[in-house]
Structure 1
Amino acid sequence: MKIIGEGRDLRSGTQILYAQVSPDDYLSIVGEDYGGFAIQRKRETHKAYSRLKDDIRLGASLPTITLAIKPEFVAETQEMIKDFGRLATYLSCVGRCNILDGLQRTYILDDLRKENFTFIEGQEIFLEIWIESNIQKLVYRIIVLNAGQKPMSARHQIELLFASLHSAIEKEIGNVTLVTEKDQKRRRRPRIYPLQVVISGYQAFVSGATELNKDNLISQQLQVDSALDMDEESIRGQFSEFIEYFRLYAALDEEIFRIYSGLIDGDSESDDDKSNLRSPHWLTNENTCISFFASISQYSGSGSDSVVSEKVRRTKSALNNLIAKLSAAEAGSDPMALESLDAIRAGKNARKINVGTYTRRLLANGLKEYYRAEGDIRLIDAWNLAAD
């Protein structure tokens, strides 16, 4: 790798390195597992990619590929920012960067390598390398700056963000583990969540919607037109709020896991467990996570500043009260009134409704009733008020 310059995005304050590298050395840098980093966009089969492959054989210059230094390597990178030679050696080691934009081009280059194609001497790839460890800044940079170029679906941008930063997000929330689908095993303790479920929770929190269009992140607010209307401070603040509420979510999970583990095998997480509301794994259910975070946005996300502030206070007070009540509950009891909630859900004719849609709406509306009462209401009453 040859570092050819440095810069800074003045809008977000992110440091940027510019580099060039041969195709062979680039493939060495991203390693064999470049397509398996947590969540990556599936391989595309557009005709344009076949044409691009032919052009690369002829020595065409590729559009710049964007990499991001993994958070754990940012500090060391910044220490040697002025020593381009040393920096090039450091970043040439496999596993120091993630691909943010350029996965399809990497697939094509890798195909050519596997076909024993010899790249033309002097053929170079240009790289833009982001150096940023601040999660909130990367939220802004990836969502908004990338959204303006529309290089990938908005949903995928958030998946990519959480995938590349899940270790930092775990640290930010505290004592939680986010697992990818391929790493998902039986959950033997609380505070372990599928990454996709947390992504859906964030999507629901920003949109305030219980129905998510997964091909288009945050169906309304973070579509490209409205995303570009949000300033950096708003997006950073929104993400910080999500992290704060997720800490409460994890605290609830710890108590629910303890209380409900005796009802079914707490070491298992079968499909039956996930459909059963009275499960120690209830908060790892995607419907539950979506409903929880959507309910917060729906209840506290509108009104004047003073009204919103009061709603936020009531919501947090209600959740903290619920955590306190659960901590005093005995194992094997039903303080969440999940048996009643399940009975309400079962009372609907499954032939006439979408069970998932109804479950999410029921949960979200019941939680909003609980927030309005600042936790001074039984959950069985909240569920009944939400039933229609």
Structure 2
Amino acid sequence: MRFEVVGIDYDNRINNFMVSARADYEWYLNKTQGSEENLAIQRDVIKGTKPYKNLRADLKMGCILPAIVLAVRNIDASVTENYDPLEGFIVASRDHLDALQSAIGDATPKDIDIVDGLQRTNALRQTFDELEEGDKPTFLARSLRLEIWVNIQFFPLAYRMLLLNAGQRPMSMKHQIDILSGGLAEDLQDLEGIEIIRLKDHKRRIKPGQFHLSSLAQAFQAWMQRSPNVDRTNLVVETMAVDEALDSLGIDLSDNDGNQRDGFRQFVDWMLQLDRALGDSQNRFFGNDTVVLGFAAAIGFAHKNETLQDRLPTAMAAMIASAQSDTENPLGVLTFDQIRRSVDTKRSNVGEATRGLVFRAVREYIMQGGTSPMIECWTQSASMM
């Protein structure tokens, strides 16, 4: 197996180093083994379509693929500190490139995500499986170009991916956020009381604090878009959502104070505290994705609203305290359940109606600075259904 780091560059917009590298197919397929499963909640791998059938045929003939983009976490990239980020064309020493080469080479597949190139990776694996045994060694020895973001945080990577794909629109915003979910899990895993369940774990939520990674990825999208409806089918609406998300991510990245990262982490921390306050008896409340999306959108709305952002911490502190002290109907969950059961399924989509109900109720609670009980907010929100 061969892997070679050939250079480094620095992105001053997202403040991160990117490594340019070459590898043979054998190294790449070994290092990304399981990445398809790690990213199983993203768009389905395309199989059997004519373009990818042609690509597999070209791969057998020795074509060169466009560079694949990876994100590698938890490696020692300290040698990059020797270089000035303002230097436009970084000329790294061979010793430093070798150090990065060794660090990346030691990374395990669980620390490597395919940011751009899942379909090409699948084509490589399918092509390899189709080859005769005698042809496989030659195939595995061919070269592949890689762009590797080292130790990049979730939010800068989200911005970079959304920006690069905004003009091409090869996949929805939801798919792009799903792809980055591994980094999101890494960023949230140290929050007190959280247990993140990945699709490959084959587990279901049985107690407070457990959240499926797919739910958290959708919650991030809802939080960022300030809308509980994350499945966009209208192209114009989807375009507007991406533009708004880019603007939001871009502004917070410019602040250089971690506002974006800390804002979403703060939402998840609040949700964990509320989840624990509800306890096992109301475990189903935050186990419902529609509830999570509604909460995320409402808090994201307040986080980015100049009028409400100062009321948000006070309101959430009041909500948590109320939920912890109310043993009969914390968060007004019983009232919420009654309203949800009253939705006319012949006239309304229950999921969409529930997301809207939660979004409006939580937003109203924040607008009131936590002075109105959640029962009243549920009732007021229901009157708008």
Measured after TM superposition, the shift of residue 169 of structure 1 is 2.2
1:334 to 329, 346, 359: 329
Contact 2:295 2:359 in 1 (8 A): yes
What's 1:372 paired with? 367
What's 1:138 paired with? 157
Contact 2:154 2:183 in 1 (8 A): no
Distance 2:128 2:9 in 1: 32
Matched position secondary structure for 1:336: helix
What's 2:186 paired with? 167
Distance 2:330 2:308 in 1: 24
Measured after TM superposition, the shift of residue 168 of structure 1 is 2.5
Change (3 A) 1:373 1:78: same
Matched position secondary structure for 1:337: helix
1:193 to 208, 211, 214: 211
Q: Does 1:242 align with 2:260?
A: no
Instruction: Report percent identity of matched pairs.
Output: 26
Change (3 A) 1:251 1:184: farther
Instruction: Give the alignment of 1:244-259 within 5 angstroms.
Output: 244-257=266-279
Q: CA RMSD in A?
A: 2.9
Unmatched runs of 5 consecutive residues or more in structure 1:
263-278, 303-307
What's 1:315 paired with? 312
What's 1:99 paired with? 114
Measured after TM superposition, the shift of residue 336 of structure 1 is 2.2
Matched position secondary structure for 1:281: helix
Distance 1:372 1:187 in 2: 31
2:28 to 26, 29, 37: 26
Tell me whether 135-144 or 115-124 shows the greater mean CA deviation.
115-124
Q: Does 1:85 align with 2:91?
A: no
What's 1:113 paired with? 128
Change (3 A) 1:311 1:106: same
Q: Taking structure 2 as the reference length, what is the TM-score of the superposition? A: 0.82
Contact 2:17 2:80 in 1 (8 A): no
In structure 2, give the amino acid aligned to 1:291.
G
Measured after TM superposition, the shift of residue 68 of structure 1 is 1.2
What's 2:37 paired with? 36
Residues 255-304 of structure 1 deviation map (CA, whole Å, 9 limit, x = unaligned): 012xxx34xxxxxxxxxxxxxxxx323112111011112223445644xx
Change (3 A) 1:334 1:92: same
Matched position secondary structure for 1:280: helix
Measured after TM superposition, the shift of residue 148 of structure 1 is 4.5
1:13 to 12, 15, 23: 15
Distance 1:161 1:387 in 2: 35
Distance 1:344 1:28 in 2: 52
Q: Taking structure 1 as the reference length, what is the TM-score of the superposition? A: 0.81
Contact 2:177 2:217 in 1 (8 A): yes
Contact 1:208 1:298 in 2 (8 A): yes
Contact 1:205 1:296 in 2 (8 A): yes
Q: Does 1:204 align with 2:222?
A: yes
Change (3 A) 1:164 1:121: closer
Matched position secondary structure for 1:311: coil
Residues 209-231 of structure 1 deviation map (CA, whole Å, 9 limit, x = unaligned): 222225799946542x5555556
What's 2:89 paired with? none
Change (3 A) 1:36 1:296: same
Residues 194-214 of structure 1 deviation map (CA, whole Å, 9 limit, x = unaligned): 111112222211222222225
Unmatched runs of 5 consecutive residues or more in structure 2:
83-91
